[in-house]
Amino acid sequence: MLPASLTRQLAAIVGPDALSEETAPFAVHGRAPALVITPATVEDLARAVAACHAARVPLVPWGGGTRQRWGRPVAAETFVVLRTTGLRSILLHEPDDLTISVEAGMTFAALNAALAAHNQMLPLDPPRPEQSTVGGLLASGADGPRRLAYGTSRDLLIGIRVVEATGRISKAGGMVVKNVSGFDMMKLYLGSLGTLAIIVSANFKLIPRPRAAASLSCFFAQPERAFRLITALSASQLTPAAVEYREDGAAASIEARIEGLPAAVERHVRDVRRMAEEAGAGAVSLAAEGFAEVERRWAGFNDAPQTVDLAADELVARLSCLPGALEAALGDARALAAREGLALRVQARALGGVAYLRLRGGDEALRAWHAAMLARWPHLVVIGAQPALAAELPVWGAALANLDLMRRIKQEFDPENLLNPGRYVV
């Protein structure tokens, strides 16, 4: 139960309409919050955070809710969900400078639509763009297939504004592309899962929309053949925007997204097709052509990391390894899944070494798979599992480096442990 005085105070700050006791849809790991608030301005949000801080009530920041399964259950009986969807404006767009500042609750679909009018793009392509928010993507350190060509949010973010645990508003970075000297504070918030501060706006550098684009699908009867193509692509001079490897049962496929000047796209399509045929592809087809068509095709492509529709018997893990080790890692994942009688579906950033593994089967088999896999591949993060299983597994992987440092940083930023308590490694 929340103290009645805090509920009254929050209602006075955000307005009664922005406060809801219908909390079931905002349950985190099966536990519903005591209250849900949706501030309409940064100042209201900061005042609400300050009020919760004074009352020592924990807060869970909530964007689109697409990644609330990540991490450990919230270590608090009573907590408030603070939604950022009231903050969804473009604060400043300088098309000539290729920079933009947006509020954290804006979705990627809305942001991309606004940028399309200027022939520009922010090439971060999270799953569920119509739901996924800018703040949520940054806080979870998530990325998409085009990280291959354009980098992750780490590379595209140039400034950030946050509300700290006490309600203080602070900022780091700015609106110019090269502005950091000394310690780059804003990178701290990337991937910290809302445990250090609540992100309220972010500034990015933008990329002009490519003049041409194409997407090529290559199908293989066996994973080994697909990896022949991956090896050939890594050794080549080609620079595709994204190369995704997918495996479901025995069949494997590779989809290459190519963007750039028309002549370069044409050459890539020709070369990738030839290399796929040499690697033993069963079929190769030009799946989409032109930026809008390619964009449509890929909108649902990065679906394996999403955990909104998690089935009752499903576990989703993210594996990171050196790109050259990906084939071996997926081989282990496959063999162990077969041993445990689990169904496995894979989607990997083929040239990067990040893979999303979706497994289905009984809890006992999932536990055994996870333990055996983790013993070989320490950077294995569980990003989706039923609450009881997530609570018992070492979801962040093994042999975490810098744990002490991360604990000290958390202590510095949030000594009362009120922001997403227990959720991340500290």
Ligand X SMILES: Cc1cc2nc3c(=O)[nH]c(=O)nc-3n(C[C@H](O)[C@H](O)[C@H](O)COP(=O)(O)OP(=O)(O)OC[C@H]3O[C@@H](n4cnc5c(N)ncnc54)[C@H](O)[C@@H]3O)c2cc1C
Per-residue binding letters, 340-359, with ligand X (x by CB under 6 A):
--------------x-----
CB of 361 to ligand X, least distance (A): 25
356-385 positions binding ligand X, by CB under 6 A: 379
**Nearest residue to 159 via CA among 89, 95, 104, 88:** 104
According to CB under 6 A, which residues from 279 to 308 bind ligand X?
A: none
Chain residues 392-421 in contact with ligand X, contact rule CB under 6 A: 406, 409-410
Size of the site for ligand X (CB under 6 A): 21
Which position among 44, 103, 125, 143 is part of the footprint of ligand X (CB under 6 A)?
A: 143
Q: Shortest distance, CB of residue 348 to ligand X, whole angstroms? A: 12
For ligand X, which stretch binds (CB under 6 A), given 63-71, 127-135, 183-191, 207-215? Answer: 183-191
Helix (H) or strand (E) holding 36: strand 35-37
Distance of closest approach, residue 269 Cβ to ligand X, in angstroms: 28
Q: What is the largest CA-CA distance in the chain?
A: 71
Mark 188-217 with x for binding to ligand X (rule: CB under 6 A) and - for no binding: x-xxx--xx---------------------
Is the CB of residue 203 less than 8 Å from the CB of residue 106? Answer: no
Helix residue ranges, H only, 143-244:
147-150, 153-156, 186-189, 223-235
Pick the stretch among 6-14, 67-75, 207-215, 318-326 that binds ligand X (CB under 6 A).
Answer: 318-326
Both tokens assigned to 160? 């950030």
Position among 88, 187, 334, 376 found at the interface with ligand X (CB under 6 A): 187
Strand order in the sheet with 354-360: 283-289, 212-220, 251-260, 242-248, 343-349, 354-360, 314-320, 380-384
Q: How many whole angstroms separate alpha carbon 124 and alpha carbon 111? A: 11
Tally of CA atoms within 13 A in the half-sphere of 71 that contains its CB: 23
Please give the span between the terminal C-alpha atoms of the chain, in angstroms, as a whole number: 25
Minimum CB–partner distance for residue 410 and ligand X (Å): 4
| The binder of ligand X chosen from 302, 320, 347, 386 (CB under 6 A) | 320
Please identify which residue in 221, 322, 371, 400 interacts with ligand X, judged by CB under 6 A: 322
For ligand X, the binding residues in 151-170 under the rule CB under 6 A are 152
The rounded Cα 419 to chain-centroid distance in angstroms is: 19
Sign of CA dihedral 31, 35, 38, 44: negative
| 8 A C-beta contact, residue 102 and residue 134 | yes
Q: How far is residue 48's CA from residue 8's CA, in Å, rounded to a whole number?
A: 11
CB of 320 to ligand X, least distance (A): 4
Cα distance between residue 362 and residue 359, in whole Å: 10
Q: Which of 15, 73, 95, 141 binds ligand X (CB under 6 A)?
A: 141
Smallest gap from Cβ 154 to ligand X, in A, equals: 6
Q: Which residue is nearest to ligand X (CB)?
A: 191
Could you tell me which stretch among 19-27, 99-107, 182-190, 365-373 binds ligand X (CB under 6 A)?
A: 182-190
Nearer to ligand X, 279 or 425 (CB): 425
C-alpha separations of 292 from 131, 275, 303 in Å? 20, 26, 19
State in angstroms the smallest separation of the CB of 45 from ligand X: 21
Q: Which residues bind ligand X (CB under 6 A)?
A: 141, 143, 152, 187-188, 190-192, 195-196, 320-322, 354, 379, 406, 409-410, 424-426
